[in-house]
Chains A and B, each alone.
Chain A
């Protein structure tokens, strides 16, 4: 007891206060148990499974009895032309999606903000948000249908204009464009919501002052609205770049076929095909680990950039 008296009294006070807090709220801690079990079993246990990336995993022998191969899977990965192609496809599709599809929702929000007829505005919003709620299977089904070379409406229009029908979904050169277009078709309306909300938060006085100064609507759009939502734009861009390596796995899985693997196979789909199609578990896990690690790095970098320049962080 006399020894315990040597640390500062405040510290003992803090320690026993902590214990009192814990003991007084055991019921609240008990509420955490199901969530923690979930976290452990379905989130952290698979992370343990990553060690098979360093093995020559045999599904019948299990993790414990499989042979260790060190970094052999990663060596195979670096020297695989197929993987390099897949990585290039991933980066290309992702960059196209960012460069082309990131600005459109911002413009859309600016345009919607200019509409004074509320009924028209709401109708357009209702229509363009809808595809967001449909699964990629439905969207791909829809586009396979209208782009079909036999009776698809797009090819009928091309034919009636005197052109040759195009086999869109099996054309390796067109595949990336189709992926970018359909991703835009599904999400640009929805992605505008954040910017619409941000515009609504701009103070009205700024506009009043500007119009007294004689600034037109386009001028106001460029010199008040756009700067007003710039922090949100930057934040969304940083978040978007954080998921650079996800070029749209679910989308591409429902759209692609062996004829377009060359340009259309991305990391996510490659992991799926290698792992569960060809059952090359260890190699596929190594590719997946590469993907997760780079993705993690990008998010951490993005967050520290955001914290530094925007004084806002994701966590």
Chain B
């Protein structure tokens, strides 16, 4: 009996240790870069900064988040997220509703047409040529319109609509309600949680998208935050952060700026993370019931 208890204790200890280690591996890189973003440059370059700042200062951070290009990119990203999420949610829900009526002729074929695009697509070059033909190069629309409907999200909303009891609609129909009235007065108000989840899916997609901006956006003034981040952090081109403050060139610490830019771009996601976790968890579960 005692041996078994000891075994249980050892098992628990081992499990806790592994999980704590995993948590630390996830957190430490953030802690290190966060410390760097508020440390003095010489300490960063000479590798003195661990998980605590050395020579605490907020000038670098202040410089980064008040730089003209950062604010402009942030504005572009917010614009894309707001317009993109609202438009995507609307068109996805409006498309999902008729598709949830499997008894209507033709709906099955349309669903197959949508699903086929999940498995086969034109590829990068044909997409690029299309966007070019549409005159959307250097236009924020190129980041929104081609992404309006995610088929995965469409299927989640559709199966949610299908799961609503048909009696709801039938009784409304008996009282003479038309299709649109039913959709806007009964179905959509009942779909709050699933719409919130899908809205967050879309918002995170638009916020994090850097591949499409990389293809379609060249103009500095239209770059969203992820692309700006790529210029500074990946291509190590801090000149765009210095845009408009060239007289400052000598005083701006490049390593500190890079760290501060990573942190400044992470913060918006961390701020909405509690919602994300709650609804995404739900979304994954809805999706896994029938994806």
Contact = CB atoms under 8 A, between A and B. Distances in A.
Given A25-B101, A276-B215, A111 B19 contact: yes
Interface string B123-134: 111111110000
A36 B11 CA distance: 56
B262 A114 contact: no
Given A145-B258, A232-B288, A275-B124, 9 more contacts: A34-B95, A35-B95, A42-B148, A46-B127, A120-B16, A124-B23, A142-B33, A216-B4, A300-B119
B33 A146 contact: yes
Contacts of A232: 288
A38 B148 contact: yes
B208 interface: yes
B37 to A, nearest CB: 10
Interface of A: 18, 21-22, 25, 27-29, 31-32, 34-36, 38-39, 41-50, 52, 59, 108, 111-112, 114-115, 120, 123-124, 126-131, 133-138, 140-146, 150-153, 155-156, 159, 185, 189, 193-194, 197, 216-218, 232, 249-250, 253-254, 271-272, 275-276, 281, 284-285, 288-289, 291-293, 295-296, 299-300, 314-315
Given A22-B105, A296-B119, A38 B149 contact: yes
- Per DSSP, are chain A's interface residues mostly helix, strand or loop, or mixed? helix
Interface of B: 4, 7-8, 11-12, 15-16, 18-20, 22-23, 25-27, 29-30, 32-33, 36, 44-47, 49-50, 91-92, 94-95, 97-99, 101, 103-106, 110, 113-115, 117, 119-130, 145-146, 148-149, 154, 178-180, 183, 204, 207-211, 214-215, 226, 229-230, 233-234, 255, 258-259, 261-262, 265-266, 269-270, 273, 276-277, 280-281, 284-285, 288, 291
B117 A134 contact: no
Given A27-B178, A126-B277, A130-B26, A289 B123 contact: yes
Contacts of A250: 210-211
Contact of A151 (B27, B119, B255): B255
Contact of A115 (B15, B119, B215): B15
